[in-house]
Amino acid sequence: MKSTLVILMAVSISFFGCNTSQKELQETNNINSLNKYMDLCWNSREGIEFDSIATNDFYRVVNGINVVSNSNEMEAHINVYKTAFPDLKVTINKTITSLDTICVQWNITGSNTGIYGETKATGKKIKISGSSILYFTKTSKLKGEITHYNELDLLQQLGYTLIAPIVE
């Protein structure tokens, strides 16, 4: 009876130990993918290499609005920001990981020396804080991102003003 109990405990410890190391490996791989995403897509001055790190059906939701539904749209989305802010720099301040999800708090800095959508360059510098939840596949490819930041703050830093509504 004791030997059966010892064997059962050894098997249980081995099983849970393997799951823990697999979980740690998955989280490490996801962190590596996150770093590639920031370095190769957002912070690189070269072309965007999004397809190598994301699924084809990658999605991105920004401030509650679905802005991207595939990897090609994501490359175009990134290019809007990189055109408007050629010196764009994303810095991650805090990271929280779980098996298939990473939450990050980030800062973006840059100078608006290019067209932002349909708006002319203002020449003004920005610094924006926000947060993202990134979702990964079992092979550590990005499959989605939900991002929140204060868009009004961004526009005010570019020189736009908010006009109060007329209340009668």
SS (H, E, C) the chain: CHHHHHHHHHHHHHHHHHHHHHHHHHHHHHHHHHHHHHHHHHCCCCCCCCCCCEEEEEEEEECCEEEECCHHHHHHHHHHHHHHCCCCEEEEEEEEECCCEEEEEEEEEEECCCCECCECCCCCEEEEEEEEEEEECCCCCEEEEEEEECHHHHHHHCCCCCCCCCCC
Residue 166: inside a domain: no
Say how many domains are in the chain.
1
Is 17 a domain residue? Answer: yes
CATH of the domain at 35: 3.10.450.50
| Residue 145 resides in a domain | yes
Residue 37 falls inside a structural domain = yes
Please state the pTM of the whole predicted model.
0.83
pLDDT, tens only, 116-154: 988 899 999 999 999 999 999 999 999 999 999 999 999
Residue 110 maps to a domain: yes
Q: In terms of residue numbers, what domain contains 111?
A: 2-157
pLDDT in tens, 70-99: 999 999 999 999 999 999 999 999 999 998
Residues 4-25 pLDDT 10s: 544 545 444 444 544 568 888 8
